[in-house]
């Protein structure tokens, strides 16, 4: 009887272990490329650089883990950091070790919920109709479209549910300010529709931006986005639109309007070679000062293997209005710039 009970206990432990299957994956990307930008300096000369965080793809490394909880449910986590390939330094100016992603979550038949520092809802939404799939981030307008400088939310709760061809999305990011649930917070909702020939997406994001670091007042920041992709054999045609309306402090009694339009074609010529062409237009209006940035870019990628690819691009950027003298958006101060990039990217 004792031996039978012991055997049953061992069988129960083995069954529990079988349900708790888990895995941890180390992954990353290394991008080594050069870029030459005509009119890239204030003196009008060309600027030859090696991008600090990758030209074609962002340099990163991270851990991703998943544990099977049984019944179709699972727990997961993701930690991801950036680095500078040319020097080996951390890409960590904000004193965040895992400044790219830091989440823990739970998934199952209901969908998936992730909590922590993560990409904005805009990022996931736009990915279905972004011509370069968030490559060449230092050249295109993808970063601005997907959520500003970092394209990520702190203190975020992100939901994604896949139901047939529909993907339902929702995000709530806490502001972290005592005594106010709204101050500094973000909430967003959207959807993607995915079929063989067409992909569609639309979403809305609202942020309650602090008036200042010490003020309890805040003002609105709204973004509306929609777009789609039409797939015809080896060719994908993409188009998108996004409008960001941000209130300025009450004393200014005005708004900042950033309108983004983009479109592109992606041609998969062979399983190893593709060509992408895209055009991005950003029109800004702030306190009666207009500015505009237009980017045209043509890029090619050749796969040496499943993990190693060669890339090259040629691009043209034109600034007009207030953008010509904007030192943040246009450090060189020249209205027209032409760039050429080439390099290698490896995944592990």
Q: How far apart are CA 155 and CA 14, in angstroms?
A: 38
Beta bridge partners of 78: 64, 103
Q: Distance between CA atoms of 311 and 342, rounded to whole angstroms?
A: 6
Q: pTM score > 0.75 for this model?
A: yes
CB neighbour list of residue 168: distance below 8 Å, 6 or more residues apart = 111, 159, 160, 161, 191
Summarize pLDDT for 100-133 with one digit per residue, the tens: 999 999 999 999 999 999 999 999 999 999 999 9
User: How confident is the model at residue 288, as a pLDDT?
Assistant: 61
pLDDT of residue 13: 41
Q: Rounded to an integer, what distance in angstroms lies between the CA atom of residue 266 and that of residue 268?
A: 7
Tell me the pLDDT band of 265, cut-offs 50, 70 and 90: very high
CB-based contacts of 124, cutoff 8 Å, min separation 6: 160, 169
Contact 284, 265 (CB under 8 A): no
Say if residue 15's pLDDT is above 70. no
The more confident residue out of 58 and 19 is 58
For the segment 212-218, the average pLDDT, to the nearest whole number, is 62
Domain boundaries, the chain: 21-347
Residue 3 confidence (pLDDT): 47
Residue 274 CA to its chain's centroid (Å): 22
Question: So what's the pLDDT on residue 6?
Answer: 43
pLDDT value of residue 60: 94
Q: Which one has a higher pLDDT value, 164 or 151?
A: 164
Instruction: Write the pLDDT tens digit of every residue in 220-242.
Output: 889 999 999 999 999 999 999 99
Specify the pLDDT at position 9. Answer: 42
Q: Mean pLDDT, to the nearest integer, of 53-75?
A: 94
- The structure tokens 């007042």 sit at 217
Residue 138: is its pLDDT beyond 70?
yes
Taking 50 as the threshold, does the pLDDT of residue 295 lie above it? yes
CATH architecture of 21-347: Beta Barrel (2.40)
Q: Is 209 helix (H, G, I), strand (E, B) or coil?
A: strand
Give the whole-angstrom CA distance, residue 70 versus residue 109: 11
Sorted by sequence, the CB contacts under 8 Å of residue 267 that are 6+ apart come out as: 234, 235, 274, 275, 276
State the pLDDT confidence band at 328, using cuts at 50, 70 and 90. Answer: confident
Model pLDDT for residues 41-60, shown as the tens digit of each residue: 887 777 888 877 789 999 99
Mean pLDDT of the chain: 88
């Amino acid at each position: 009887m004792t031996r039978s009970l012991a055997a049953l206990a061992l069988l129960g432990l083995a069954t529990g272990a079988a349900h708790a299957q888990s895995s941890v994956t180390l992954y990353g990307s290394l991008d080594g490329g050069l870029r030459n930008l005509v009119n890239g300096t204030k003196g009008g000369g060309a600027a030859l650089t090696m991008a600090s965080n990758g030209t074609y793809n962002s340099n990163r490394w991270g851990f991703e883990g998943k544990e099977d909880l049984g019944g179709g449910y699972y727990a997961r986590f993701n930690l991801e950091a950036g680095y500078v390939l040319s020097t080996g330094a951390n890409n960590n100016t904000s004193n965040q070790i895992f400044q790219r992603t830091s989440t823990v979550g739970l998934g199952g038949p209901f969908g998936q919920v992730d909590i922590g520092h993560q990409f904005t809802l805009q990022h996931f939404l736009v990915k279905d109709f972004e011509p370069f799939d968030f490559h060449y981030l230092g050249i295109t307008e993808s970063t601005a479209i997907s959520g500003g400088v970092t394209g990520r939310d702190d203190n975020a709760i992100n939901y994604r549910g896949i139901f047939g061809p529909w993907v339902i999305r929702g995000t709530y990011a806490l502001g972290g300010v005592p005594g106010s649930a709204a101050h500094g917070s973000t909430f967003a909702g959207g959807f993607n529709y995915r079929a063989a020939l067409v992909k569609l997406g639309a979403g809305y994001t609202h942020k309650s931006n602090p008036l200042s670091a010490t003020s309890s007042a805040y003002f609105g920041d709204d973004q509306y986005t929609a777009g789609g992709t039409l797939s015809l054999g080896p060719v994908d045609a993409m188009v998108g639109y996004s409008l960001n309306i941000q209130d300025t402090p009450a004393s200014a009694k005005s708004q900042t309007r950033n309108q983004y339009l983009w479109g592109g074609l992606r041609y998969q010529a062979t399983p190893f070679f593709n060509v992408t062409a895209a055009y991005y237009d950003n029109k800004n209006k702030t306190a009666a000062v207009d500015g505009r940035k237009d980017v045209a870019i043509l890029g090619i990628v050749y796969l040496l293997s499943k993990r190693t690819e060669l890339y090259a691009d040629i691009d043209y950027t034109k600034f007009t209005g207030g953008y010509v003298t904007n030192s943040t958006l246009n450090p060189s101060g020249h209205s027209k710039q032409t760039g050429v990039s080439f390099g290698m990217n490896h995944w592990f």
